[in-house]
Amino acid sequence: MAEVNYKKKKIIEITNVTKAFGAVTAVDDVSLAINRGEFVTLLGPSGCGKTTLLRMIAGFDLPTKGKILLEGTDVTQIPPNKRPINTVFQKYALFPHLTVFGNVAYGLKILRVPNGEKKLKNGSVKQLYRKLTKAEIKAKVERALSVVGLAEYGYRNVTTLSGGQQQRVAIARAIVLEPKVLLLDEPLGALDLKMRKEMQLELKRMHSELGITFIYVTHDQEEALTMSDTIVVMSDGAVQQIGSPKKIYDEPANAFVANFIGESNLLAGNMIADFKVKFLDVVVDCLDKGFAKNESVDVVIRPEDIELIDEEAEKAQMCGEIISSIFKGTYYEMEVVAGGYEFTVQSTNGKEVGSKVGLHVTPNGIHIMKKMRATNEFIGEADGENLVWMCKGDFELDLPEGVEKGDKVKVKVPFDAVELTDDENDGVIGGNVTQSIYKGTYYQVQVYTDTDEDFLVDTSDEWDINDRVGINLRREKVTVEKVEEEEDE
Amino acid sequence: MKKVYLLGKIFIGLMLAVMYLPIVILIVFSFSGSSGIGAWSNFDFTFDLYGNLFTNDQIMTAFGNTFLIAGISSVLATFIGTVSAVGIYYLHRPFKGIVSAINRITVVNADIVTAVAFMVFFIVCLNYLDGYVALVIAHTMICTPYVILSVMPRLSQINPNLYEAGRDLGAGPIRTLFTVMLPQLVPGIISGFVMAFTLSLDDFVITLFNKGSGLETISTLIYSSTKHGIDPTFRALSTIIFIGILAVLIGINVYSASRRKKALLVGGKA
């Protein structure tokens, strides 16, 4: 029984959807279910595939693979004009040759509503449709305009409106058709901060008034946390975590989510036993269990979960020195150096710069995450003596015995076996830095190659996102295995 | 400083005089029946020339021919040019540049070359075609690149999501094309049409080479009549054409100014 109800609640189901543009995979095997009436936000940095996913739901792009279901019906191949889904575009895309009224009425003039049935001679029943009357259109347009707070603006030329007003017209134009799902593609991106805050609340109000499912795309984590019932965090075309704002903030699934949402202290640690984690050479109690002994993990501590106490106090887990303190209106944001790591701490009690403090975190404030992956793995081809061809580059690596030129090999590259160079030409291959996360004593950097593969790299240097870098491998740390291929003959 | 300012004024005055004095003289003498221009001694103020104009069959036929050919070829050029502009705009990388460049070649090409080329083309490929059909084909072809050039910039100004917005609101591809995309191009299409029309209207070289015998437009008629001294009636004709074009220009300016003003007024109301 419960199962049936649950199924009915789903309005959109996305199963294993992949979208590739040429060699680039924008959305990679995404599965996602969206409940009726929910306010769902697709959140991620630019280029993470969130807009592409939205465009596939709208019907502007067709998935390379996978299915999209709307209320249980497959709509993957249905053109956008046949879907009961409407979109609010990032740059409004209002029709400049029409008035505000004309813009909002555009869809209504095309709409056909059921108008009785007709018995055909062969006995079957044919559904009849009719256009909306002028009076009906006028009433609907006026209602939609009053919902967005532009009741008196119908006669205005859209080009004379301010950005915020144009955005409201775009919303009115979409909701007037009473869609089952409203898609919003960074609708507040072009507005100034004050306007944006106002519109966030307005959108939230419209969502509860209209009862339509909203799917909202943004790269602004604060916007996502404020407005959503559910947040879908995306990166590299894949879903990283789905959950309520609170869950995503308190229990990020991995280092990417923790770093992207809110401020956090991210550290590398080891689980030395259930409920015991070791980082920066201190063992601290936590609430997590079920890890292998000494499994290396990522540890997240939110700035507001660190308590600053007296250095000598018994419950001080670490000692540190305050190196900066900024008053932020309702709290102080302080940088504390302890055990070689720069902790960010938020507290209502400000401490003097230079003072020595003790740090204390309750088990509740510590969140343990599994490592996303332990090594980089690539498939390459042996290319002569001690050479491996992979990611369109010839790497000098030690080949195991029995591997001959042309054989397929699997190359395992630990994070610390990768060397990045400032000049792309100094590396065997080049790539773009897409992510850089500070983990306490080192940075974990993600580098995308031109062949659409990525290297995770542990490095003591800080690298800027979007920098071009060269990639070299430390030969002694890389292992190469032969891949046994089934012979075709 | 003030001296420079005065010098500038004198310069502009001189420029305008050089540009417009010939036309002013022409207009003044259109009110004199005298066959010798410049001789003020026998300047008699009459409307005779204007009267003659409308009774002169040769001129009226040429006038009709000119507007018929300009009308048909500019409508054709506007249609072909608009469709081509859309096609070129959505071409992929290398082809877009190549086709735009080819389009510009025909614009800068010398008229005389185009004229001879068309003549040879009509002789070789279309069995000595001349007259109306030949002129309409030739004029359409020389006007089309200008229409393309005036429509293309409008296309690049269109919000790329506009087409998708139309589809999103329930319109099919054809309906979206006509109710969303085409209205955005209208200003470019109109200015392209006006350009094509005037281009055909005052074309001389291409018309001369391809009209064949018996068919005359205004420009070729004036040219052929210069052999026996210019018929004074042409002064009246030129005046009327000048005033007509001036009226259309002023009309367009006044219309667009009033539209801008209206938009501002509406905008300032709330």
Q: What pLDDT is stored for residue A479 in this prediction?
A: 84
Percent of chain B clearing pLDDT 70 (strictly above): 92
Residues 150-209 on A with a CB inside 8 Å of B are 152-153, 155-157, 159-160, 173-174, 177
Which stretches does DSSP call E strand in chain B?
A: none
- Residues of B whose CB is below 8 A from A106: 166, 169, 171, 179
Q: Do B164 and A97 touch (CB under 8 A)?
A: no
Whether chain B has a CB inside 8 Å of the CB on A22: the answer is no
Q: Do A87 and B183 touch (CB under 8 A)?
A: no
Residues 180-219 on B with a CB inside 8 Å of A are 180, 183-184, 186
Domain boundaries, chain B: 58-219
The 3-state DSSP class for residue B45 equals strand
Q: Do A106 and B267 touch (CB under 8 A)?
A: no
- Using CA atoms, how far apart are residues A474 and A463, in angstroms rounded to an integer? 19
Q: What pLDDT is stored for residue B40 in this prediction?
A: 67
Whether chain B has a CB inside 8 Å of the CB on A439: the answer is no
- Residues of A whose CB is below 8 A from B180: 95
Whether chain B has a CB inside 8 Å of the CB on A132: the answer is no
Residues forming a β-bridge with B206: none
| Residue B268 predicted with pLDDT over 50 | no
The CATH fold of domain B58-219: MetI-like fold (1.10.3720)
Q: Give the nearest partner residue to B170 out of A111, A152, A159, using CB atoms.
A: A111
Q: Do A106 and B172 touch (CB under 8 A)?
A: no
- Using CA atoms, how far apart are residues B12 and A448, in angstroms rounded to an integer? 62
Angle at B51 between CA B45 and CA B53, to 5 degrees: 115
- Residues of A whose CB is below 8 A from B263: 157, 159-160
Cβ–Cβ < 8 Å for A41, A228: yes
pLDDT digits (tens, 9 = 90+) for B41-52: 667 778 888 888
Q: What is the dihedral of CA B119, B122, B125, B129, to 10 degrees?
A: -150
Would you tell me the crossing angle of helices B182-201 and B132-157 to the nearest 10 degrees?
140
Q: Give the nearest partner residue to A81 out of B171, B183, B263, using CB atoms.
A: B171
Q: What pLDDT is stored for residue A487 in this prediction?
A: 45
Residues 403-422 on A with a CB inside 8 Å of B are none
Q: What is the 3-state secondary structure (H, E, C) of chain A?
A: CHHHHHHHHEEEEEEEEEEEECCEEEEEEEEEEEECCCEEEEECCCCCCHHHHHHHHHCCCCCCEEEEEECCEECCCCCHHHCCEEEEECCECCCCCCEHHHHHHHHHHHCEEEEEEEECCCCCEEEEEEECCHHHHHHHHHHHHHHCCCCCCCCCEHHHCCHHHHHHHHHHHHHCCCCCEEEEECCCCCCCHHHHHHHHHHHHHHHHHHCCEEEEEECCHHHHHHHCCEEEEEECCEEEEEECHHHHHHCCCCHHHHHHCCCCEEEEEEEEECCEEEECCEEEECCCCCCCCCEEEEEEECHHHCEEECCCCCCCCEEEEEEEEEECCCCEEEEEEECCEEEEEEECCCCCCCCEEEEECCHHHEEEEECCCCEEEEEEEECCCCEEEECCEEEECCCCCCCCCCCEEEEEEEHHHEEEECCHHHCCEEEEEEEEEECCCCEEEEEEECCCCEEEEEECCCCCCCCEEEEEECHHHCEEEECCCCCCC
- Using CA atoms, how far apart are residues A86 and A183, in angstroms rounded to an integer? 6
The 3-state DSSP class for residue B32 equals strand
pLDDT digits (tens, 9 = 90+) for A408-417: 888 888 888 8
pLDDT bucket at B2, cuts 50 / 70 / 90: low
| Residue B10 predicted with pLDDT over 90 | yes
| Residue B270 predicted with pLDDT over 60 | no
CB pairs under 8 A between A and B: 75
Query: A165: distance to nearest CA of chain B, Å?
Result: 12
ipTM of the complex model: 0.72
Q: What is the 3-state secondary structure (H, E, C) of B110-170?
A: CHHHHHHHHHHHHHHHCCCCCCHHHHHHHHHHHHHHHHHHHHHHHHHHCCCCHHHHHHHCC
pLDDT less than 50: residues of chain A:
1-7, 487-489
The set of residues, in sequence order, having a beta carbon less than 8 Å from that of B126 and lying 6+ positions away, is B134
- pLDDT higher at A452 or B132: B132
| Residue B143 predicted with pLDDT over 90 | yes
Instruction: Copy the structure tokens of residue A281.
Output: 């050479």
The residue of B93, B169, B176 whose CB has the most chain A CBs within 10 angstroms, and thus the best one to mutate to test that interface, is B169
Q: What pLDDT is stored for residue A391 in this prediction?
A: 83
Q: Do B180 and A157 touch (CB under 8 A)?
A: no
- Using CA atoms, how far apart are residues B227 and B61, in angstroms rounded to an integer? 20
Could you tell me the strand order of the sheet in which A73-74 lies?
A24-35, A10-21, A65-70, A73-74
| Residue B27 predicted with pLDDT over 50 | yes
Cβ–Cβ < 8 Å for B207, B219: yes
- Residues of B whose CB is below 8 A from A189: none
Q: Do B270 and A152 touch (CB under 8 A)?
A: yes
| Residue B69 predicted with pLDDT over 50 | yes
Task: Count Cβ atoms below 10 Å from residue A47 Cβ, excluding itself.
Answer: 17
**Eight-state DSSP code of residue B230:** -
- Using CA atoms, how far apart are residues B54 and B47, in angstroms rounded to an integer? 12
Query: B194: distance to nearest CA of chain A, Å?
Result: 21
Q: Max Cα separation, chain B?
A: 76
Strands A238-243 and A230-235, by their bridges, are antiparallel
Please list, residue by residue across A192-229, b when 16 or more beta carbons sit within 10 angstroms of its beta carbon and e when fewer do.
eeeebeebbebbeebbeebebbbbbbbbbbebbbebbe
Q: What pLDDT is stored for residue A5 in this prediction?
A: 46
- Using CA atoms, how far apart are residues A241 and A235, in angstroms rounded to an integer? 10
The residue of B168, B176, B180 whose CB has the most chain A CBs within 10 angstroms, and thus the best one to mutate to test that interface, is B168
- pLDDT higher at B162 or A408: B162
Cβ–Cβ < 8 Å for B166, B102: no
Q: Do B270 and A153 touch (CB under 8 A)?
A: yes
Q: Do B165 and A80 touch (CB under 8 A)?
A: no
Where does residue A65 rank: exposed (0-12), middle (13-18), buried (19+ CB within 10 A)?
middle
Q: Residues B97-102: what's their mean pLDDT? A: 90
Q: Which domains does chain A have, with CATH numbers?
A: 97-178 (3.40.50.300), 255-370 (2.40.50.140), 375-482 (2.40.50.140)
The residue of A90, A99, A109, A110 whose CB has the most chain B CBs within 10 angstroms, and thus the best one to mutate to test that interface, is A110
- Residues of A whose CB is below 8 A from B186: 97
Q: Residues B239-255: what's their mean pLDDT? A: 87
The 3-state DSSP class for residue B22 equals helix
Q: Give the nearest partner residue to A81 out of B159, B162, B167, using CB atoms.
A: B167
The set of residues, in sequence order, having a beta carbon less than 8 Å from that of B252 and lying 6+ positions away, is B194
pLDDT bucket at B265, cuts 50 / 70 / 90: low
The set of residues, in sequence order, having a beta carbon less than 8 Å from that of A402 and lying 6+ positions away, is A482
> What mean pLDDT value characterizes chain B?
86
